[in-house]
């Protein structure tokens, strides 16, 4: 049976978008699929997920960091250049047909910042190999992108420890 690649979007203001994408990467790797993850914007090398997945599945899960850390501390031009380099890498990885699953973590922010247009993203989705599953995460996914996708999940924040002043916990937030 031929694989039907799905476009999957995890959006919304609740917690779980990135962790769900990494959970999917884990599931895919367990089935022998080849995975490439590109993290935009807040990419950090020392997150638990980055360290665990690449150590556990060398050669099967690739992780690329195309961000500069926290955007509010950064020069806008530096953030933009890192994002554009990440987008170029995403194009190459997707069009190489070397993967079964590609995750573009926090990609929606590039549209929000005006670094990329919705049309550019949809055009790459159309060009991708038919078998490729592609996951996009981030808040406020563009309407047209959600219409194009096969699977859209919106995480809704019902309660978050941040609201009680509880700081980010190791292993839970990073």
The footprint of ligand ATP (CB under 6 A) covers 13-19, 137, 139, 155, 157, 160, 162, 168, 173
Residue 15 interacts with, from Mg ion, ligand ATP, none (CB under 5-8 Å by kind):
ligand ATP
Q: Residue with the closest Cβ to Mg ion?
A: 18
Which CB atom, from 84 or from 155, has the smaller least distance to ligand ATP? Answer: 155
Q: Other C-beta atoms within 10 Å of 44: how many?
A: 13
Residue 55 interacts with, from Mg ion, ligand ATP, none (CB under 5-8 Å by kind):
none
Name the minimum Å distance from CB 14 to ligand ATP. 6
Handedness of CA 83, 87, 92, 97 (dihedral sign): positive
Name the minimum Å distance from CB 48 to ligand ATP. 10
Q: Other C-beta atoms within 10 Å of 19: how many?
A: 16
Name the minimum Å distance from CB 50 to ligand ATP. 11
Burial 116-133 (b: 16+ CB within 10 A, else e): beeeebbebbeebbeebb
Q: CB of 46 within 8 A of CB of 168?
A: no
């Amino acid at each position: 049976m031929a694989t039907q690649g799905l476009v999957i979007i995890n959006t919304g203001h609740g917690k779980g978008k990135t962790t769900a994408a990494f959970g999917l990467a884990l599931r895919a790797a367990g089935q022998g699929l080849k995975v490439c993850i590109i993290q935009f914007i807040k990419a950090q090398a020392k997150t638990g997920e980055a360290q665990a997945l690449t150590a556990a599945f060398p050669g099967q899960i690739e992780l690329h960091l195309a961000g500069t850390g926290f955007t509010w501390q950064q020069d806008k031009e530096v953030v933009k250049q890192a994002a554009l380099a990440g987008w170029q890498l995403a194009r190459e990885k997707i069009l190489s047909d070397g993967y079964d699953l590609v995750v573009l973590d926090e990609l929606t922010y590039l549209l929000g910042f005006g670094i990329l247009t919705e049309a550019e993203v949809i055009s790459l989705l159309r060009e991708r190999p038919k078998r490729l599953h592609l996951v996009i995460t981030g808040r406020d996914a563009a309407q047209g992108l959600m219409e194009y996708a096969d699977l859209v999940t919106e995480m809704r924040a019902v309660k978050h420890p941040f609201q009680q002043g509880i700081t980010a916990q190791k292993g839970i937030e990073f």
